[in-house]
Structure 1
């Protein structure tokens, strides 16, 4: 078997904690191999292997010895783009802590505490198609369930990708719009456990297909936030929060602050007037989002991602490929 070659990513480990980033509730299809301490994920149709031995060491990526161009002083563009490696997180943290004292020293009754791990969470720049359906699935759902559903969907309808010479290391591309729009997909999704989302997902895929397709989703990166929101909220099943999650995670609207129960608590701790509401209305939602954008600045969405992750805490599970294999073996032996 070909020997492994690993290269460090040229970012201070204080600014990039791999585990914290990949379990922060932004992305749901990274697989963790506990035995090898590696993460497997698909970026731009390519399977990547990443690892970080501990918080004091750089994140590393794997390449085969026969790769056409081995990196020397530059990180791969796919990784730079996906993890926004050209942005200094330490500079942003200083800005947030200066403008928002609670970002560094939360109020006494709050459990939120930034530590070395959570302050290394990077804002991901994800594929628009996958992001639309990931956050459609996330509505009224918990992280564990979202992961399970998206992995089932990918394994059933995504194109498999194997690591050369290591067939046990594999992943799947996310299903295409054409696949998700197929007749009868509603029943297939219902059998997988998607529930009421079984109707929204094919309907959303068909609507996007007839309104510019994948190309139009990518074009939304270059339009205003209002125009992107307007387009997204015409898609079946998408409301304020899901539209904002997509804008932030895939469409470069980095100052957008999606508001859920966790961020509502953050707003209340900061005594933002609109957060005194008993429940989120469209107006209070938008007022809270705008207030936090004003407080946190141009990269407010990144601050939100960190605050959200810290509040979510340990409820986000590891996508452990080994435990999944053991579960399958147990099921097959019954």
Structure 2
């Protein structure tokens, strides 16, 4: 059965709120929680961007059951891959093995703070090296790596979980799958693309693999209020990741989204108290072959109300409506 997740969206909430939401989301019945790993919000109106790894440490302490995951960390610019491996091992230990390390090639928005943003082919080369380094360190022992982009000299992780931390990687096409499918355990994608899942499974063969997607929604007491919030907070969403990855800061996202209308956002994001739209958005991923789908509740103002609705109605509805017609729940 499809696993339903909750997104700790650091761009729209401060660290204390994120920890509280994480605890409430577990109580509400979500299966897993993912957290964004940003230095900037996309828009100034979102107003936040705490350090994701500190939040994860606190979340590990207040939750007991839900799996945790970065969605996603870029291990090539702000962070050296050897340090990412150390962080992942530590969070896995703190959470008793509930952590998956989600990785991706990153966005200019967050990575330019430490220097120039590389071209996409260079970013993919860097991510390839990073995945090798991280996997070797998480498997234990000393690692030496004289790469083109990274050098590792006699590195070792001294605190490791009994089971290696699973690694998921964000890909958007066949080229990325060819490069990364053998270097990671699970797939992350931002569109319900059945062909992408099929190609990934073809490369992975019989090896078990999760396919993890994410769906923005905006629950509010009225549809008009939800559309207003979604337009204010998430209108950048429709540009696509190939564009978004190159934009350098919130001002650029403001400019790129200045002609996006509220009705455009409403067409792309389920808005309002009607839960059927949320189910339909998740079903698109399920039909494409995704095993895990994390919901993003857009906006900070109605997070508690959304979690109330999730606890009382939404999660049960998702499980019932997405149950295979001829299979078990």
Would you call these one fold, judging by a TM-score over 0.5? no
Q: Which category of TM-score, normalised to the shorter sequence, fits these structures?
A: under 0.3
The two structures have a TM-score, normalised by structure 2, of 0.26
More helix by share: 1
The two structures have a TM-score, normalised by structure 1, of 0.26
More strand by share: 2
